[in-house]
Amino acid sequence: MPRHALPSFALLLVPALALTACGGPGDREDDSTEAATASGYPRTIDNCGHEVTLDAPPERVVSLNQGSTEILLSLGLEDRVVGTATWTDPIMTGLEEANADIPRLAENNPSFERVLEAEPDFVTASFVSTLGTGGVATREQFEELGVPTYVSPTDCAAGKDNESGEDGSRSEPLTLDSVYGEIHDLAEVFGVQERGEELVSQLQLRVDTATGDLEVSDVSLMYWFANSQSPYLAGCCGAPGAITGAVGARNAFDDTHDEWPQINWETVADRDPDVIVLGDLTRESQTAETAEAKIAFLETNPATRNLTAVREERYVLLSGQAMNPSIRTVEGIELLADGLRELGYTR
């Protein structure tokens, strides 16, 4: 997700948690009771070079971005979430009821003071820059107040350089293992490990079954997140790279290691991708946010209207969250596979 396509945002590394918890979850009420009384605390987590100590399972969590929130809700932890922020899309299908009563602290980055008003005992984020200079606050600022923090492993997986370019760069491709790792970590923190195992198994099964009949090894894709004047397009190795690899296609800009480089339309015309994957966003912070606006631009702009994908109307629409390293990346694989199937790319 481009930092300038959304307010400052990025991610941090987290090695596997060396945590222990007792008991297996039963129904959700039993899980809450179990987590609240679980032994094995205090627990210390090595998260991106930060030693994070938890004295008990968190009871009042603020999740500073949509991706983190959707994982917490998918784990059935909505009774613990007292605030969320920074959204690009409607809530993931199936989580509407769980999300209905959770306060939205801000559509983008909330102030540090606004987060503290929610009285959190744990703060999660998806991006390094959310919990860093220029973001909501630094991790140290929360820790000085006794509030432990957690940042997703997807933004600091091996090869991720968050200091390179606007949105960082990757020398190694992101894999879904980092997404699954975040699920396992948060399930461990809250003492609901069985839910985490079940959720990861479901996601893995969805990926395995999404693309069986595709034949797209020669198909080039271009991912456009936002901005019509200086478009943010996906480089090789972020979430779109994981999606592309899963369906077996190739990224027209797989020689670009920046996460979301801004690439001019003349270069796009030279690459002439076979299919254009469009971010269909509901926020209004950039130009050409919705897929409708993107298509209108592509079909009228002199530099793009003669692209093969535009002339043939080869578009696939994804949510902004599906283009981020998140639980929705699996949804992105499914939707792209369905879109390619509809375009006739089958065996």
Domain boundaries, the chain: 28-208, 213-342
Measured distance CA(167)–CA(246) in Å, rounded = 23
- Least Cα distance to 230 among 201, 205, 264 occurs for 264
pLDDT value, residue 58: 96
pLDDT value, residue 22: 32
pLDDT value, residue 36: 42
Which single residue is written with the structure tokens 């809250």? 190
Give yes or no on whether 28-208 and 213-342 have one common fold. yes
pLDDT value, residue 142: 96
Beta bridge partners of 84: 63, 104
Three-state DSSP state, 7: coil
Measured distance CA(185)–CA(15) in Å, rounded = 9
- DSSP structural state of residue 17: P
28-208 has which CATH code? 3.40.50.1980
Beta bridge partners of 44: 53
pLDDT value, residue 38: 54
Q: Are 276 and 314 in contact (CB under 8 A)?
A: yes
Hey, which bits of 26-121 come out as E strands? 43-47, 50-54, 61-63, 81-85, 104-106
The H or E element spanning position 243 is helix 239-247
Q: Let me know how long the chain is.
A: 347
Measured distance CA(22)–CA(40) in Å, rounded = 7
Measured distance CA(70)–CA(88) in Å, rounded = 12
- Least Cα distance to 169 among 181, 158, 182 occurs for 158
pTM of the predicted model, to two decimals? 0.86
For residue 155, which phi and psi values (nearest 5 degrees)? Answer: -90, -5
Beta bridge partners of 81: 61
- DSSP structural state of residue 346: B
Identity (one letter) of the amino acid at 283? R
Residue 108, number of CB atoms within 10 A of its CB: 17
What pLDDT tens digit does each residue of the chain (347 aa) get? 564 444 333 333 233 333 333 333 334 444 444 444 456 778 777 777 778 788 899 999 999 999 999 999 999 999 999 999 999 889 999 999 999 999 999 989 999 999 999 999 999 999 988 998 899 999 999 999 999 999 998 988 878 898 887 889 999 999 999 999 999 999 989 989 899 999 999 999 999 999 888 899 999 999 999 999 999 999 999 999 999 999 999 999 999 999 999 999 999 999 999 999 999 998 777 889 999 999 999 999 999 999 999 999 999 999 999 999 999 999 999 999 999 999 999 87
pLDDT value, residue 200: 98
Parallel/antiparallel/unpaired status of strands 50-54 and 43-47: antiparallel
**Which CATH architecture is the domain 213-342 placed in?**
3-Layer(aba) Sandwich (3.40)
Which single residue is written with the structure tokens 């999660």? 124
pLDDT value, residue 2: 64
